[in-house]
Amino acid sequence: MFDLTGKVALVTGAGSGIGRAIAERFAKAGAKVHVGDLNEAAGRETVALITAAGGAAEFQQLDVADEASVAHVAAATGPLHILVNNAGIGHVGTILQTNAEDMDRLYRVNVRGVFSVTKAYIGTMIERRAGSIINLASIGGIVAVRDRFAYVTTKFAVVGITKQIALDHSAEGVRCNCICPGRVETPFVQARLKEYPDPAKAYQEMSATQLIGRMGRPEEIAAAAHYLASDEAALVTGAALMADGGWSVGK
Domains and CATH numbers, the chain: 8-184+217-243 (3.40.50.720)
Q: Across all residues in the chain, what is the average pLDDT?
A: 96
From 15-19, 171-175, 191-195, the region with the lowest mean pLDDT? 191-195
Active site residues: 151
Q: Degrees (nearest 5) of the Cα angle 53, 55, 58?
A: 120
pLDDT tens-digit readout, 2-25: 999 999 999 999 999 999 999 999
d(CA 203, CA 143): 21
- pLDDT of 47 strictly over 80: yes
What's the pLDDT at 188? 81
- pLDDT tens by residue, 147-162: 999 999 999 999 999 9
The average pLDDT across 173-196 equals 91
In the chain, the N- to C-terminal Cα span, in Å, equals 35
List strand residue ranges (DSSP E) for the chain, in order: 8-12, 32-37, 56-61, 82-85, 131-136, 174-181, 240-243
pLDDT for position 95: 98
Is residue 251 predicted with pLDDT exceeding 80?
no
* Consecutive H or E run containing 220: helix 218-229
Q: Is 250 a residue whose pLDDT tops 80?
A: no
The CA distance from 199 to 112, in Å, is 32
> Residue 58, SS3?
strand
pLDDT tens-digit series, residues 118-142 = 999 999 999 999 999 999 999 999 9
**pLDDT value at residue 195:** 80
Q: Which of 21-25, 55-59, 72-76, 183-187 has the lowest mean pLDDT?
A: 183-187
